[in-house]
Amino acid sequence: MRIKDLEGKEWEYGECLSCAINSKKVQPYGGIIFESKNFTVTQDFSRPINGFVVISAKRHVVTYDGLTSEERAELAELVFKTQKALKRLGVCEYFNIYVAEYKEGHFHLQILPRYKWMEDERGTIIGNLNRGFNYAKENLNTKENLKQIKTTLQNLKKEMNKL
Q: Which residue has the higher pLDDT, 41 or 19?
A: 41
Please enumerate in sequence order all residues whose Cβ is within 8 A of that of 145, keeping only pairs 6 or more positions apart, or say none: 48, 50
Residue 129 predicted with pLDDT over 80: no
Can you list the positions of beta strands (E) in the chain?
2-4, 10-12, 32-35, 39-43, 53-57, 95-100, 108-113
Contact in structure between 89 and 152 (CB atoms under 8 Å): yes
Q: Are 34 and 40 in contact (CB under 8 A)?
A: yes
- The total number of residues written for the chain in this structure: 163
pLDDT at residue 161, rounded to an integer: 84
pLDDT value at 126 more than 70: no
Which residues are CB-neighbours of 119 under 8 A, at least 6 positions away?
Answer: 125
pLDDT band at 120 (very low <50, low <70, confident <90, very high): low
More confident residue, 2 or 131: 2
CATH number of 2-158: 3.30.428.10
List pLDDT tens digits, range 57-87.
999 899 999 999 999 999 999 999 999 999 9
What residue ranges do the domains of the chain occupy?
A: 2-158
What is the residue-averaged pLDDT of the chain?
A: 90
Q: How many CB atoms lie within 10 A of CB 140?
A: 19
Give pTM, 2 decimals: 0.87
Distances (CA, A) of 124 to 81, 114, 115, 118, 144: 24, 9, 10, 7, 26
Residue with the larger pLDDT of the pair 66 and 129: 66
pLDDT bucket at 155, cuts 50 / 70 / 90: very high
Number of H helices, E strands in the chain: 4, 7
